[in-house]
Amino acid sequence: MVSSAADFGVSLIGMHGGVLLRRASAAREELDLPKLDVAIVEDDDSVREATAHLLRLLGYITASFSSAEHFLKSGLVRDTACLITDVHLPGMSGVELQNRLILDGHCVPIVFVTAFPDEAIRARVLSHGAVCYLSKPLQEQSLVACLEQALQRPH
Looking at residues 35-45, what average pLDDT do you find? 94
Closest CA to 133 of 88, 100, 103, 102: 88
Exposed e or buried b per residue across 68-86, where buried means at least 16 C-beta atoms within 10 angstroms of its C-beta = bbbbbebebbebbbbbbbb
State the pLDDT at residue 32. Answer: 54
Selected residue with higher pLDDT from 91 and 34: 91
Residue 139 and residue 131: Cα distance in Å, rounded? 16
3-state secondary structure of 32: coil
Would you say residue 16 has pLDDT above 70?
no
Selected residue with higher pLDDT from 5 and 58: 58
Indicate the pLDDT class of residue 28, thresholds 50, 70 and 90.
very low
Selected residue with higher pLDDT from 118 and 30: 118
* Digit-coded pLDDT (tens) for 46-57: 999 999 999 999
Selected residue with higher pLDDT from 10 and 114: 114
Residue 130 and residue 137: Cα distance in Å, rounded? 19
Q: Which of 4-18, 57-71, 109-123 has the lowest mean pLDDT?
A: 4-18
Q: Are 147 and 111 in contact (CB under 8 A)?
A: yes
Q: What is the distance in angstroms between the CA of the first residue and the CA of the last residue of the chain?
A: 24
State the pLDDT at residue 120. Answer: 98
Residue 49 and residue 44: Cα distance in Å, rounded? 9
Selected residue with higher pLDDT from 69 and 7: 69
Indicate the pLDDT class of residue 84, thresholds 50, 70 and 90.
very high
The boundaries of the domain holding residue 73 are: 5-152
State the pLDDT at residue 36. Answer: 87
Q: Which CATH number goes with the domain that contains 11?
A: 3.40.50.2300
Give alpha helix (H) positions in the chain. Answer: 10-31, 45-57, 68-73, 94-103, 119-127, 140-152
Selected residue with higher pLDDT from 87 and 16: 87
pTM: 0.79
- Count CB atoms within 10 A of the CB of residue 61: 21
Structural domain total, the chain? 1
Closest CA to 65 of 47, 135, 79: 47
Q: What is the dihedral of CA 29, 30, 31, 34, to 10 degrees?
A: 0
